[in-house]
Amino acid sequence: MDPFRRGLVPMYLAGAAAISTVVSIAAFEILMGAALVALIATRAEWNVPRIWLPFSIFVLGTIVSLLASGHARQGFPQVKKFYVYLMVVIVTASFRTVAQIRWVAFGWTLAASLSAAWALNQFYNKYQDAKDEHKDFYLAYVGDRITGFMSHWMTFSGQMMIALLIIGALVFFAKETRWTIAWLICAGAVIKFALLAAETRSVWLATAIGGAYLIWFWKRWALLAIPVLVAIVVLVNPFEIGDRVVSAVSPHGTLDSNAHRAICRAIGWEMIKAHPLLGVGPEQVGPQHLAYLPPGTRLPLPPGYYGHLHNMYIHYAAERGVPAMLALVWMLVWALADFIGALRHSATGSKERWLLHAAIAVMIGVLIGGYEELNLGDSEVLGMFLAVVGCGYVAVYEVNKCRV
């Protein structure tokens, strides 16, 4: 087999792995492993982004925290999750051009729109069930929302956000045919409606800010549509989605997660104060959360999941220590800075710009969403996000080649 065709094998496997994050975590991990084996077998050239330095510090901080916690066996799954982070170098080693990644973006569009269509079917069934049983839909739905192909609505919503921002970048900045743009817009509409129906407020906000970034560089006047659309949703209140928007400042008691997330942040702060350098240890937030209740906390606690702290920054600082958390943030911000720098140096109208805009928008969305959820704690979202980061670095490399 000639070198060109050998290079296609890891590229196809890496692309399939990236796309499968929206469908099945098992398929993603298998295909990712196959791509890694193919890269080694074909003696591919490895392009390792310079974010390896803060990532190495994050890994070291995690391992030290694990060993110091006294619960190494319970925390070992977090060490195994570092396997997923290989997705960045697998993508940068497998793809050489933005034109190749364009097909991965189309694959994400198709997979995400199918997941969204299935989710809308779930929404219809849940609405009908509540209506048939004469239940208040809001009360019946908030605790059991749509998930698409995933197992939880937060995972589903995170993936829909990433897919929608990628589609936006393609529509606004890529030079696609009229029919391709029409398909992207239709797929994006299905994903947008499913994301609205998922009623995940933090992802709504993250998507809006990431989308505002894209619109700012497309047609700034169109930003006026965002507050108008929000006002229409609140006033019309379709399927009580407007009530969910208002619940951000006026929750329905403990049904909405406002109080739960507030106590999680308070617990995390107590953990950070007690263990600032190494945290309580990987996978120890849940088992130990009752030992770190703030003074004066009333029991029982607001209903919700206490296995993690629903805030990426507080959680990693409480679990693995402030240095490890800062290393992770350093890695994310460094990648964002690399994408912004490449965008500034890219030629106007160049083929790399849509991908750089997509990577920046996704990074913004993840950084914003991380305040209200441990979004990178889900392997499905993490794998898709890291694939986007890898794709962004392929665009960075292309821009740098043009500058030489």
Predicted confidence (pLDDT) per residue in 314-339, tens digit: 999 999 999 999 999 999 999 999 99
pLDDT at 6: 65
Each as own residue / partner, the long-range contacts of residues 212-215 (CB below 8 Å, 24 or more positions apart, any chain) are: 213/357, 213/360, 213/361, 213/364, 214/165, 214/168, 214/169, 214/172, 214/357, 214/361, 215/168, 215/172
Q: Has residue 2 got a pLDDT over 70?
A: no
Length in residues, the chain: 404
For the full predicted model, state whether its pTM sits above 0.85. Answer: yes
Q: Name the residue among 202, 225, 229, 199 with its Cα closest to residue 214.
A: 225
> Rounded to whole angstroms, how far apart are CA atoms 64 and 189?
46
pLDDT tens digits for range 222-264: 999 889 989 998 898 998 899 999 999 999 888 899 999 999 9
User: What totals of helices (H) and strands (E) does the chain contain, helices first?
Assistant: 18, 0
Residue pLDDT, tens place only, 45-92? 898 999 999 999 999 999 999 999 999 999 999 999 999 999 999 999
The torsion region of residue 307 among left (phi > 0), alpha (psi -120 to 50) and beta comes to: alpha
DSSP state of 149: T
pLDDT(3) > 60: no
Q: Give tens-digit pLDDT for 155-205.
A: 999 999 999 999 999 999 998 999 999 999 999 999 999 999 999 999 999
Encoded tokens for 321: 């220590």
Residue-level pLDDT at 54 = 97
The pLDDT > 70 percentage for the chain reads 98
Q: Where are the domains of the chain?
A: 50-84+102-252+311-335+346-377
Can you tell me whether residue 146 is helix, strand or coil? coil
Work out the mean pLDDT of the chain and round it to a whole number.
95
pLDDT at 324: 98
* Percent of the chain clearing pLDDT 90 (strictly above): 90
Predicted pLDDT of residue 301: 94
Residue 116 near residue 194 (C-beta atoms within 8 A): yes
| Nearest alpha-carbon partner for 199 in 253, 130, 267, 139 | 139
- The whole-angstrom distance between residue 96's C-alpha and the CA centroid of its chain comes to 24
pLDDT over 90 (residue 347): no
Burial degree of 13 (CB within 10 A; 0-12, 13-18, 19+): buried
Query: Distance between alpha carbon 10 and the CA centroid of its chain, in Å?
Result: 24
pLDDT band at 4 (very low <50, low <70, confident <90, very high): low
Q: Which of 165, 264, 243, 240 is nearest to 206 (CA)?
A: 165
Q: At 404, is the pLDDT very low, low, confident or very high (cuts 50, 70, 90)?
A: very low
Average pLDDT over residues 6-24: 94
Confidence bin at 7 (pLDDT 50/70/90): confident
8 A C-beta contact, residue 378 and residue 147:
no
Average pLDDT (265-274) is 98
Rounded to an integer, what distance in angstroms lies between the CA atom of residue 370 and that of residue 376? Answer: 8
Give the DSSP H/E element, type plus range, for residue 90: helix 87-94
Q: Which of 182, 172, 181, 184 is nearest to 216 (CA)?
A: 172
Q: How confident is the model at residue 403 (pLDDT cuts 50, 70, 90)?
A: low
pLDDT at 5: 64
What's the pLDDT band for 401 if we cut at 50, 70, 90? confident
